[in-house]
Amino acid sequence: MRLLICLLFLGFAARAQDINAHGAGVLFHNGVYYLYGEIKKGKTWLVPGQTWEDYRVPAGGVSCYSSRDLVHWKNEGIALVPTVGDPSSDLDTGRVIERPKVIYNARTRKFVLWMHIDRNDYSYARVGVAVSDRPQGPYRYLGSMRPNGQESRDMTVYQDADGRAYLIYASENNKTMQVCLLSDDYLRPTAVYRRILVGQRREAPAVFKAQGRYYLITSLCSGWDPNAATYAVADSMLGQWRQEGNPCVGAGAESTFGAQSTYVLPLSRGRFLFMADRWNKTDLERSGYLWLPLTVDDGRVEVRHEGERYVIGGLALISYEMRVRGAVTGYSFLRCYTATDSLLLEYRAPVNEAQSGNYTETPPGTAYVRIGVSEGLSADSLHVELNAGEDHASHAPLCDLRQYMRPFWKGDTVYNETVLLDDSGGRLLYQPDRILAVRNYGLDTVFRLGVDYRLEGRRIVRLPGSRMRFRAGATFDKKDLAWYNLQSQWVVVSYTHHDRWRGPVPVYSGARLPRVEGLLRKSGARGHVASTKVRIVAYGMSITRGMDVSGYDGVAPYMPTYVSLFGKAVQARYPRAAVELYNAGLPGSTAAWGAQYAESYVVPLQPDLVLLDFGMNDFWRMRPAEFGDSVKAMIRKIRAGDPKAEFILLSNMKFDPAYVADSDRNKAFYVGNLAGYRDVLRSLEGNGVVGLDMTDISDVLYREKKAKDCVVNPLHPNDYLARWYAQGLTRLIVKDED
């Protein structure tokens, strides 16, 4: 049944943009479902002088759609046409025409349409009635009234099996509801009515009958904002109504999944469809719909949600947090689906102290995700961040990427080397012959020799009164594992030199990457016209993703991630190759995660070349042998998808040695693990697998300069160190980049 209703809803949702039927109701007549709703069209505006958020949109009358299966809908046109330019008319577009509901009177053979009629400030509080000989209208408006002199705002009608019909409406300044019996022809309220849910401030009523009892779902009065629904039960429409609690179950239940009830449609065999509106208060025309299965089991009404649905593409970071109520054990889930609704991957996160959440990545091919909780649980609050932590604004880099890709270990010019000045200054990698420029990190300020700084061998010394940023050593917390953030605090120096790099030098390894080499060579071959696809997938953790280079953090000079710099450099060298680059780096991920999910994240992309970059989240726990097993598992799984896939294994840069205090008993373990990972990766090199040793490169840099010149925080490279990654990778597959 759930599947069926999902299908119904998907069918409806797919056409939702074509359907304009809010606050809707349904009439089932002669095998056809007729859907009636408010037509919301035009610009939303806020009524001045109100104490509440009285957002309005022109009242467009009542729409009608018909369907035999609840999936395919035909637009039957406007069932009740509004009037234009006559403010005295109930149906004027400047008025309120809401929550239309139609019932059929078998005796008079008339279709009767009831609706909420109001003025913009909701002071009119009346119910209107219209009539037609045909279900789809046009309806003839008969007028509006206050039943028995009582206010009537949010309302619905209910037709019982015995032919009696009732009007149910929020009255008494929305504090109390009333149920009023309609006349036999359904055109007038009778004097028979009852006050129900007294003083409870309920509205948005939806009535249905199940197993001989009457149920009434309502919302609290909070304008267009969603709140928790409740259901009440009674033995007869004019009987005693008893509130039973929230029928909604699952993440988002506390806000009726972001929606407000409007109707409950009985289907065959005791099944029901719960229909609700997802108001978009500042753009009411774009309000959505939510249809969910409703069940009644032993008197208990439940509206379940398969999880909140979010549209998000593949390789995107997503995070959510929720507060959970209910069973002692259970989990929250994140399910990733394709555009054709097949489940790609499910993540489960345990519930701990009534909290659950996750931060993860969607696999390629994801079109949307659902977030929810396991059976027996409900979520009290759900906070979701799509594309978590990524800067949405795209900024063109302010730095010269060609200069940035000149290898640091070659030539005689260094561009924009970062130095964190402390109280006394900071050290360059090489002895400068000539300083070309010293700038701030954002590159918009040039510092002057003799004014801002002077040179002492390899040291830049900050002069008193200098505009250059510095970071006094004493401002660093000396605690074990004390975090810091140096983003943008460096100065950058361009200079010439003639001394040489004494650390490891990445060497061209094309011969061991025959596939990539072949593709690139082919694209570069004379006379080759069609572009040759070269697909590169980076699979790793935060550093891979780009944390925290300037482009990733959205600060000047907006340098792209190392993966992207690498892709651009390969593309620039082989303009006729079509380099396709995918970054599947998940911040926080471990090699074990990489091994577990390689089939989901890498294989579907059918890469020619895979960069494997793990370690920064592993050295805390994992010994080199196990780390090696994870990397081997990744290679095996990816090769099972394509035996010719090739790999570059990046060994992890070192963390800032000061991050772990010397007194920390585990320091040797951590440091030893990182060195061990480097060795184990080296042992995996061979045909189709080459390595880039960032462990040793970073180690030499930290000794020649200092770690804080090269990292943003203890674990992530800055633009300078990230460029060593990009330059090193490029050198492995591009022979003559100069």
- Peptide bond preceding 548 in cis form (omega within 30 of 0): yes
Residue (154 or 302) nearer to ligand GAL, CB? 154
Residue from 111, 224, 562, 627 that binds ligand GAL (CB under 6 A)? Answer: 224
| 646 binding ligand GAL? (CB under 6 A) | no
Length of the chain: 738
Residue (287 or 652) nearer to ligand GAL, CB? 287
Residue (44 or 630) nearer to ligand GAL, CB? 44
Strand order in the sheet with 426-427: 426-427, 459-462, 453-456
Nearest to 177 by CA among 200, 157, 159, 158: 200
Tokens representing 178 are 């009333």
Measured CA to CA, the distance from residue 591 to residue 649 in angstroms comes to: 12
Least Å distance, CB 598 to ligand GAL, is 50
Least Å distance, CB 52 to ligand GAL, is 7
Residue (104 or 291) nearer to ligand GAL, CB? 291
Residue (206 or 377) nearer to ligand GAL, CB? 206
Phi-psi region of 125 (alpha: psi -120 to 50; beta: other; left: phi over 0): left
Least Å distance, CB 584 to ligand GAL, is 44
CA 573 to chain centre: 36
Sole residue written with tokens 């907006």: 558
Least Å distance, CB 169 to ligand GAL, is 11
Residue (154 or 553) nearer to ligand GAL, CB? 154
Residue from 260, 295, 374, 378 that binds ligand GAL (CB under 6 A)? Answer: 260
Tokens representing 714 are 């203890």
Coil, strand or helix: which one is 461?
A: strand
- Peptide bond preceding 138 in cis form (omega within 30 of 0): yes
Least Å distance, CB 23 to ligand GAL, is 5
Nearest to 68 by CA among 101, 106, 37, 29: 29
Measured CA to CA, the distance from residue 541 to residue 617 in angstroms comes to: 8
Residue (178 or 583) nearer to ligand GAL, CB? 178
| 98 binding ligand GAL? (CB under 6 A) | yes
Residue from 11, 138, 223, 330 that binds ligand GAL (CB under 6 A)? Answer: 223
Is there a contact between 59 and 48 (Cβ–Cβ < 8 Å)? no
Least Å distance, CB 240 to ligand GAL, is 25
Residue (200 or 550) nearer to ligand GAL, CB? 200
Q: Helix %, strand %, coil % for the chain, to 5? A: 20, 40, 40
The residue at minimum Cβ distance from ligand GAL is 223
| 288 binding ligand GAL? (CB under 6 A) | no
Residue from 27, 204, 265, 420 that binds ligand GAL (CB under 6 A)? Answer: 204
Which residues touch 587 (CB under 8 Å, ≥6 apart)? Answer: 317, 359, 389, 541, 542, 545, 547
Among 107-115, 219-227, 317-325, 493-501, which window interacts with ligand GAL (CB under 6 A)?
219-227
Measured CA to CA, the distance from residue 658 to residue 643 in angstroms comes to: 42
Among 221-229, 325-333, 537-545, 640-648, which window interacts with ligand GAL (CB under 6 A)?
221-229
Which residues touch 530 (CB under 8 Å, ≥6 apart)? Answer: none
Is there a contact between 603 and 530 (Cβ–Cβ < 8 Å)? no
CA 314 to chain centre: 11
N- to C-terminal Cα separation, the chain? 65
Measured CA to CA, the distance from residue 195 to residue 180 in angstroms comes to: 9
Residue (169 or 539) nearer to ligand GAL, CB? 169
Residue (156 or 544) nearer to ligand GAL, CB? 156
The 23-52 site mask, x for binding ligand GAL (CB under 6 A), equals x-----------------------------
Residue (98 or 452) nearer to ligand GAL, CB? 98
Residue (125 or 265) nearer to ligand GAL, CB? 125
Least Å distance, CB 206 to ligand GAL, is 11
Compute how many residues bind ligand GAL; rule: CB under 6 A.
Answer: 10
Among 78-86, 217-225, 320-328, 695-703, which window interacts with ligand GAL (CB under 6 A)?
217-225
Residue from 90, 203, 302, 452 that binds ligand GAL (CB under 6 A)? Answer: 203
CA 685 to chain centre: 38
Among 220-228, 319-327, 482-490, 591-599, which window interacts with ligand GAL (CB under 6 A)?
220-228
- Restricting to residues 102-161, name those near ligand GAL by CB under 6 A: 154
Residue 578: beta bridge partners?
Answer: 533
Q: Kindly provide the residue ranges of all beta strands, DSSP E only, lying in 402-471, ordered along the sequence.
A: 413-419, 426-427, 432-440, 453-456, 459-462
Interface residue list for ligand GAL (CB under 6 A): 23, 98-99, 154, 203-204, 221, 223-224, 260
